[in-house]
């Protein structure tokens, strides 16, 4: 069936795929938040006209192949070292818009030192933090952000404070540092949440170009595969369990 000429006229277009989002299948599981956040990054970079002046630093973890999906310049960092790499890139290229894209293991476990010290120095970068409270890529092990009582492959009876300690609210820690100008916690499970996230993510990028210091955008996310739930149930579980412990909103906004 042929589409009428009227339907395909640009003035009737209400939605399109971001131009910077490559037309290849993503490897993420159904219901994963990564794909939506990738789309937001592509839209914002395009809206800001920064296609030729943006450099992303991809992590080790589920988003290790982020460079395949967004058509900008990328570097691959060793596990946890993305903020250190981004620091060098931004200092050598102050006119570039530089960001890291990291999961809870990359940022809040092996990369804790790099994250805290880059933020404490006030590096003019954006740190995008995906918090799904589990290690999705390597088999669903406990993460620093795993909730109390939450079962994983390495704590099958639930996280126990006597054995495992407490979930790490690393964004709350980063908000206390003088070098951070924006620390915000968002999500992408609804249209309204996506719109709010896009607004705050753009503000973070604008802050970095204005030399205001480090901006941290945490996304409270799902891992339907790691949580062993359907995408719909994972979203509901996130609202009932993740949001109370990791409440959405701005932790710091200078």
> Span 17-24, mean pLDDT?
92
Whole-angstrom distance, CA of residue 22 vs CA of residue 68: 7
Whole-angstrom distance, CA of residue 115 vs CA of residue 18: 30
Task: Report how many helices (DSSP H) and strands (DSSP E) the chain contains, helices first.
Answer: 10, 9
> Span 163-180, mean pLDDT?
97
DSSP string, 175-239: HTSTTEEEEEEE--SSHHHHHHHHHHHHHHHHHHHTT--EEEEEEE---HHHHTS-HHHHHHHII
Confidence of residue 17 (pLDDT cuts 50, 70, 90): confident
Residue 230: is its pLDDT beyond 80?
A: yes
Rg (CA), the chain: 18
Confidence of residue 9 (pLDDT cuts 50, 70, 90): low
Q: Are 103 and 125 in contact (CB under 8 A)?
A: no
Give 34-53 pLDDT, tens digit per residue: 999 999 999 999 999 999 99
Confidence of residue 175 (pLDDT cuts 50, 70, 90): very high
Give 89-117 pLDDT, tens digit per residue: 999 999 999 999 999 999 999 999 999 99
> Span 3-29, mean pLDDT?
77
Residue 3: is its pLDDT beyond 60?
A: no
Supply the pLDDT for residue 1.
44
More confident residue, 2 or 225: 225
Q: Are strands 134-135 and 141-142 parallel, antiparallel or unpaired?
A: antiparallel
Supply the pLDDT for residue 12.
76
Confidence of residue 177 (pLDDT cuts 50, 70, 90): very high
Whole-angstrom distance, CA of residue 231 vs CA of residue 29: 9
> Span 192-203, mean pLDDT?
98
Confidence of residue 136 (pLDDT cuts 50, 70, 90): confident
Residue 148: is its pLDDT beyond 60?
A: yes
Residue 14: is its pLDDT beyond 90?
A: no
Which structure tokens are listed for 73? 């310049």
What is the pTM assigned to this prediction?
0.93
Bridge partners of 21?
70
Sheet holding 214-220, edge to edge: 73-76, 54-58, 97-103, 126-131, 214-220, 180-186, 249-253
Give 69-90 pLDDT, tens digit per residue: 999 999 999 999 999 999 999 9
Residue 244: is its pLDDT beyond 70?
A: yes
Bridge partners of 185?
218, 249
Is 114 strand, coil or helix? helix
Residue 8: is its pLDDT beyond 50?
A: yes
């Amino acid at each position: 069936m042929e589409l009428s000429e009227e339907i395909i006229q640009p003035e009737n277009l209400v939605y399109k795929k971001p131009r910077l989002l490559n037309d290849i299948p993503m490897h993420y599981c159904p219901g994963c938040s990564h794909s939506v956040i990738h789309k937001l990054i592509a839209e914002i970079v395009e809206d800001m006209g920064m296609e030729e002046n943006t450099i992303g630093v991809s992590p080790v973890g589920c988003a290790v192949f982020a460079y395949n999906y967004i058509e900008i310049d990328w570097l691959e960092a060793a596990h946890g070292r993305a903020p250190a790499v981004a620091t060098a890139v931004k200092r050598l290229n102050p006119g570039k818009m530089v960001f890291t894209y990291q999961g809870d293991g990359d940022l809040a476990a092996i990369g804790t030192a790099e994250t805290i010290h880059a933020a404490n120095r006030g590096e003019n970068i954006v740190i995008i933090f995906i918090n799904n409270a589990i290690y999705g890529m390597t088999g669903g092990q406990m993460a620093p952000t795993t909730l109390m009582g939450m079962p994983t492959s390495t704590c099958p009876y639930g996280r126990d404070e006597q054995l495992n300690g407490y979930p790490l609210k690393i964004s709350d820690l980063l908000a206390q540092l003088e070098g951070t100008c924006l620390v915000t916690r968002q999500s992408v499970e609804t249209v309204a949440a996506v719109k709010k996230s896009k607004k705050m993510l753009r503000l973070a990028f604008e802050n970095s170009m204005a030399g205001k210091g480090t901006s941290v955008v945490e996304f409270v996310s799902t891992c339907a595969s790691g949580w062993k739930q359907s995408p719909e149930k994972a979203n509901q579980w996130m609202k009932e369990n993740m949001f109370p412990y990791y409440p959405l909103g701005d932790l710091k906004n200078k």
